[in-house]
Amino acid sequence: MLINMKITKHILTFLILLASSIAFAQVKFEAKVSKQKLGVNERLRIDFEMNQDGDNFVPPNFDDFTVVGGPNTSLMNSYANGVKTYQKTYSYFLAPKKKGKFTIKQATIEIDGEVYKTYPVTVTVVDAVDKPNGKPDASDIASDKIHLVAEVSNSNPYLNEPTTVVYKLYVARDVGISNNWREKQTPRYNDFWSQNIEIKGLNIQRGEYKGEDYRYVVLRKTVLYPQKTGKLKLEPLVLDVTVEVPTGRSNVFLQQIMTKVPKTITAGSKTINVKPLPEQGKPSDFKGAVGDFDFNVTTSKNQLNATESLQAKIEVTGRGNLKLFELPKLTTPSSLEVYEPEHKENVRTGLSGMQGSISDTYTIVPQYRGKYPIPSISFSYFDLKTETYKRITSDEIIIDVVEGPTASVNSSEGAEEGNIKQVVKPNSNAFAFIKTTSNWESMSSQDFFKSSTFWCLLLLPFLAIPLAIVIRRAKDKRDADVVGTRIRKADRLAKKYLSEAKKNLGQKEVFYESLERALHNYLKAKLNIETSDFNKEKIDALLTKKQVDGNVVSEFISILESCELARYTPITDVTMQNDYDKAAQTISLIDKQIR
């Protein structure tokens, strides 16, 4: 009986251990959501948990949601009563796009060669709630602290009246933006003539947004001239930015620890209502000029001989749509030969629109002696100041041809009374003002073959051969110098990455942002890691693994810490120069030592 009880006890113990080992060996891969029901203005957290490490994690397509955060990865190892517990979690933060009942599909992962899938999760999105998710997360803070604004100078202009759109990025003082922002969608200006105004550098300025103090930068300035009437739509500017939001925690230097949140922001579309020009009082010769102009017709000379040439210039100067209308045409008597005009534009475009001058210059060649009138020319434009049409008329110009053949005038048979036709005699000297002869001198081939030039050209290839050999040997020797080549390459690389920081010496915040970005870009190029993976421990481990000297690694990390500290403490120009020199030297040393 006693023996049977002992056997039974051993069997039970074995079964318990077997069940425990089977339970531990069983793989679990689950999807868990923070709530099954949420408002359309709330955020949903979904965790994909596993009890063994795996590879090739593939999340589901969050088609009905916008991913506002993640994936964030957490890892937990623990031992309790001799039992090991392992848990790895991928977390996403989602914002619903609309109300309704939605199913988040399966995620997959590969563990020990087997592919595991989560069960689909169904959530219900209802109307917006008053207090979504309690305390706002980093994404919500970022949305409230950064704004892209399109400022239109005149939303109700006349046709061809200039209006300016300025895009400003407003950022609250307690958040920041990484410099790796990009334009996701560039605005299009259909039905407008447009020109961008060059912006030299993004200068940080202070201003107000909805009554609060903000910093802002001007990203774009564009001058628009509407080319049709009615309501015209300006397509929006859309940016992808990374917002640095404070976490409420501090590091060992008592500096605020920031978290980075990717955001897509838009200035929104704008509508401009374009008014037509008034029909009342519109001149018959109006060509579409809108602005404030002067008009002149001038000639290079008023007295000349036949077959000589003169230039007649029609010019409009002032402010307005100078590139968008035609100049009046020149009319002359038939006895004057007139060539196609040369068009010139000297126009500058600023925030107030175009200003400068445009002109057509005609070349005129008289054929016969006499006095020839160039009739007056009229130019009409719409004056925006008075909102009326104005006309400028030039004076009549008399061209006096003092010498040359005389045109015979006969009454034409059957001509109406008062109509007189000129009989034009052909003139073989019509183009006498054009030079058609040259001063070329002949050179016999016999003289050339005896010249020093011929012998120099003949011997030059033979003299170049030893020079090429010397240059080639010098290049081979330089290429064979592996250490020297590596040093030169390292110095060039340091200058390449630090060039932007050098340009900003003297501007503390911009300089240290540029310097930190240069150091990060260098590490990304050399270590193939993303900026989001940077931390001092990982940099130390990777550089040490690449056989970089420990003192050089420590120096590199100290420069990164200086960049963080410098943003919050007073810094002199001498300190900035020293930090720049130290960074250049350290990058060069790393590049020489890295394996």
Q: Which domains does the chain have, with CATH numbers?
A: 24-133 (2.60.40.740), 140-274 (2.60.40), 291-401 (2.60.40.740), 482-593 (1.20.120)
Is the pLDDT at 406 greater than 50? The verdict is yes
User: What six digits make up the tokens of 307?
Assistant: 């077959």
Q: What is the pLDDT of residue 26?
A: 81
Question: Six-digit token pair at 284?
Answer: 């018959």
Positive or negative torsion for Cα 129, 131, 135, 140: positive
Assign 348 a pLDDT band (cuts: 50, 70, 90).
Answer: very high
Confidence of residue 290 (pLDDT cuts 50, 70, 90): very high
Is the Cβ–Cβ distance between 244 and 220 less than 8 Å?
A: no
Mean local confidence (pLDDT), 563-570? 64
3-state secondary structure of 456: helix
Cα 237 to chain center, whole Å?
A: 11
pLDDT of residue 522: 76
pLDDT of residue 567: 57
User: What one-character-per-residue DSSP string does 408-421 give?
Assistant: EEEPPTTPPTT--E
* Percent of the chain at pLDDT exceeding 70: 79
Work out the pLDDT band at 420, boundaries 50, 70, 90: very low
Percent of the chain with pLDDT over 90: 34
Report CA dihedral (587, 588, 590, 592) to the nearest 10 degrees. Answer: 160
pLDDT in tens, 433-450: 555 566 666 655 556 666
* Mean pLDDT (the chain, rounded): 81
CB burial of 363-389 (b: ≥16 within 10 Å; e: otherwise) equals bbbbbbebebebeebebbbbebeeeeb
Q: Which residue has the tokens 């020149």?
A: 330
What's the CA gap between 588 and 177, in Å, rounded?
A: 29
Cβ partners under 8 Å of residue 45, min gap 6: 33, 34, 91, 92, 93, 94
Q: Could you tell me which of 191, 278, 195 has the C-alpha nearest to residue 226?
A: 191
Residue 400: its pLDDT value, please?
A: 93
Give the C-alpha separation, 360 to 341, whole Å: 5
pLDDT at 413 over 50: no
User: Looking at residues 215-240, what average pLDDT do you find?
Assistant: 92
CB 292, CB 324: distance < 8 Å: no
For residue 2, the model assigns a pLDDT of 46
Would the pLDDT of 326 be above 90? yes
The confidence score (pLDDT) of residue 417 equals 36
Show Cβ contacts of residue 15 under 8 Å, excluding neighbours closer than 6 positions: none
Return the pLDDT at 274: 96
* Cα→Cα distances 126→41, 98, 103, 129, 270, Å: 9, 9, 14, 9, 31
**In Å, how far from its chain's centre is CA 295?**
39
Residue 5 or residue 313, greater confidence: 313
Question: What residue type is assigned to position 214 of the chain?
Answer: Y
Quick: pLDDT tens for 120-178: 999 999 988 766 655 566 777 787 889 999 999 999 999 999 999 999 999 998 888 87
Residue 145's nearest CA partner among 124, 122, 123, 176 is: 176
The pLDDT of residue 415: 32
Choice between 212 and 2, residue whose per-residue pLDDT is larger: 212
Q: What does the pLDDT read at residue 424?
A: 45
| Of residues 73, 62, 54, 74, the one with CA closest to residue 115 | 54
> What confidence category does residue 68 fall into, taking pLDDT thresholds of 50, 70 and 90?
confident
